[in-house]
């Protein structure tokens, strides 16, 4: 079955009782039992719910495995994986520019109970090899990374990690299973901020954790019920609805990102563009090998001051200033003060998260509109600079 067909058909048969084409929202907390302990497979919606089950079935099919558990946020899914696998003394390897929330949960929640987070350049496979030790329990990859869109060689890292007995987790939020299949590359666990491209419309917060091996999945599934961070049936339904257009949306996101990256890279006010589809991007060759598309995100560094960055990101016509990404409506953000603000300033500088770095999440708008909006913003900055020069010259 083709990927696009799976997004529409997998795990989503017509409703058996009524024939309804679209899965209903089973908005119930509890289920009638015929006798104590005798139910129709459902007893309480924290444990199990038919709408949620459908979403889990589709996500599992899209990632090419049998086991998925959805959570009330991406971080709740991450927490379940970390809680399932980390004990005091265990080490976790993670990328230098890992998502700020992942950095925070590892450093502020798990480090105080004895876990040792080790941030390294996971796009450099030799650095991963050096960092692996007998105490490494998890290698946490995010590829492309957020926000510099660095590429980790998942297959190469998985071989090294497995040789040392560590599990490989891939945060597949940015690529989505549409463009990257981490399990086929050797990942043991995949996590998602479903909030982003999978749900796709910026209208729900959800997460997912998936595993290939039932034994690896079991403790995650246990924690879904035991700690209870489950999404509502309505939220699951929203994602089921969003997923049906995942392939169409990803194609447009990528088309827009490619056009934007090409337009920005030629501009004198742009110091550097981060987009895996550019041949000059450091991970371009690995991305070509392990992805079927380069994704929809673009980041760039403005050649200018922080004030100019703030003015640029606050006054775009189609790019709304806001956290998050992956929706049909374009978003723009300033990682240093928004998504990655939880990383201390010094650490941010070391990680290359400069104050002039801007992250774009092009939506599904028309390509020309988005490109023009950005070029117009850069032209405004040029005009403002020229005006400042004239004032300075005339006041001499």
Ligand X SMILES: Cc1ncc(COP(=O)(O)O)c(C=O)c1O
- Is 171 noted as a catalytic residue in this protein? yes
Residue 274: active-site member: no
- Residues that bind ligand X (rule: CB under 6 A) add up to a total of 13
Task: Please give the residue whose beta carbon sits closest to ligand X in the complex.
Answer: 74
- Looking at the Cβ atoms of 146 and 356, the one nearer to ligand X is 146
From the list 146, 181, 204, 299, which residue makes contact with ligand X (rule: CB under 6 A)?
Answer: 146
Q: Which of 79, 107, 136, 193 binds ligand X (CB under 6 A)?
A: 193
Q: Among residues 90, 97, 99, 373, which one is catalytic?
A: 99
Q: Does 82 bind ligand X (CB under 6 A)?
A: no
Question: Of the two residues 98 and 263, which places its CB atom closer to ligand X in the complex?
Answer: 98
- Residue by residue, what is the 3-state secondary structure of the chain? CCHHHHHHHCCCCCCCCCCCCCCCCCCCCECCCCECCECCCCCECCCCCHHHHHHHHHHHHHHCCCEEEEECCHHHHHHHHHHHHCCCCCEEEEECCCCHHHHHHHHHHHHHHCCEEEEECCCCHHHHHHHCCCCEEEEEEECCCCCCCCCCCHHHHHHHHHHCCCEEEEECCCCHHHHCCHHHHCCCEEEEECCCCCCCCCCCCCEEEEECCHHHHHHHHHHHHHHCCCCCHHHHHHHHHHHCCHHHHHHHHHHHHHHHHHHHHCCCCEEEEECCCCCCCCCHHHHHHHCCCCCCCEEEEECCCHHHHHHHHHCCCCCEECCCCCCCCCEEECCCCCCCCCCCHHHHHHCCCCCCEEEEECCCCCHHHHHHHHHHHHHHHHHHHHHHHHHHHHCC
Query: Catalytic residue at 213?
Result: no
Of 72-80, 87-95, 220-228, 350-358, which part binds ligand X (CB under 6 A)? Answer: 72-80
- The active-site residue, picked from 52, 54, 148, 196, is 196
Select the residue interacting with ligand X from 180, 195, 224, 239 (CB under 6 A).
195
Interacting residues with ligand X between 98 and 127 (CB under 6 A): 99, 101
Per-residue interface string for the shown chain with ligand X, residues 211-230, x marking contact by CB under 6 A: --------------------
Q: Does 322 bind ligand X (CB under 6 A)?
A: no
User: Of residues 171, 188, 235, 373, which has the active-site annotation?
Assistant: 171
- With CB under 6 A as the contact rule, the residue among 173, 181, 224, 258 that binds ligand X is 173
* 385 flagged as catalytic: no
CB of 102 to ligand X, least distance (A): 6
- Told to check if 73 binds ligand X by CB under 6 A, we report yes
If one asks whether residue 260 binds ligand X (CB under 6 A), the answer comes out as: no
Q: 39, 46, 203, 306: which one is catalytic?
A: 46
Instruction: Select the residue interacting with ligand X from 200, 207, 293, 362 (CB under 6 A).
Output: 207
* Contact set with ligand X (CB under 6 A): 73-75, 99, 101, 142, 146, 171, 173, 193, 195, 205, 207
């Amino acid at each position: 079955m083709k990927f696009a067909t799976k997004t529409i058909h997998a795990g989503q048969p017509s409703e058996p009782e009524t024939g309804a084409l679209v899965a209903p929202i089973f908005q119930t907390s509890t289920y009638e039992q015929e006798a104590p302990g005798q139910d129709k497979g459902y007893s309480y919606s924290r444990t199990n719910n038919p709408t949620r089950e459908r979403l889990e079935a589709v996500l599992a099919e899209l990632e090419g495995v049998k086991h998925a558990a959805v959570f009330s946020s991406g971080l709740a899914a991450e927490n379940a994986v970390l809680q399932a696998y980390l004990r005091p003394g265990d080490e976790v390897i993670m990328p230098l520019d890992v998502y700020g929330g992942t950095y925070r949960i590892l450093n502020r929640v798990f480090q105080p109970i004895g876990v040792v987070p080790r941030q390294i350049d996971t796009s450099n496979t030799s650095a991963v090899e050096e960092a692996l030790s007998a105490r490494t329990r998890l290698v946490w990859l995010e590829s492309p990374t957020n926000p510099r869109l660095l590429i980790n060689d998942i297959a190469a890292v998985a071989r090294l990690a497995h040789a040392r007995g560590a599990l490989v987790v891939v945060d597949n939020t940015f690529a989505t299973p549409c463009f990257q299949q981490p399990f086929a590359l050797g990942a043991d666990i995949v996590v998602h901020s479903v909030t982003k491209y999978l749900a796709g419309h910026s209208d729900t917060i959800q997460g997912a954790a998936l595993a290939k091996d039932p034994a690896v999945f079991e403790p995650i599934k246990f924690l879904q019920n035991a700690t209870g961070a489950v999404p509502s049936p309505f939220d699951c339904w929203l994602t089921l609805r969003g997923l049906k257009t995942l392939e169409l949306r990803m194609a447009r996101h990528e088309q827009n990102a490619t056009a934007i990256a090409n337009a920005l890279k030629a501009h004198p006010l742009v110091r550097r563009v981060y987009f895996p589809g550019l041949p000059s991007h450091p991970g371009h060759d690995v991305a070509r090998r392990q992805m079927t598309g380069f994704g929809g995100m673009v980041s760039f560094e403005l050649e200018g001051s922080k004030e100019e960055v703030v003015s640029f990101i606050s006054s775009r016509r189609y790019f709304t200033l806001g956290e998050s990404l992956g929706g049909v409506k374009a978003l723009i953000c300033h990682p240093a003060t928004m998504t990655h603000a939880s990383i201390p300033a010094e650490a941010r500088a070391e990680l290359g998260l400069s104050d002039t770095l801007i992250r774009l999440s092009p939506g599904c708008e028309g390509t020309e509109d988005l490109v023009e909006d950005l070029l117009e913003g850069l032209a405004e900055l040029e005009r403002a600079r020229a005006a400042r020069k004239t004032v300075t010259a005339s006041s001499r």
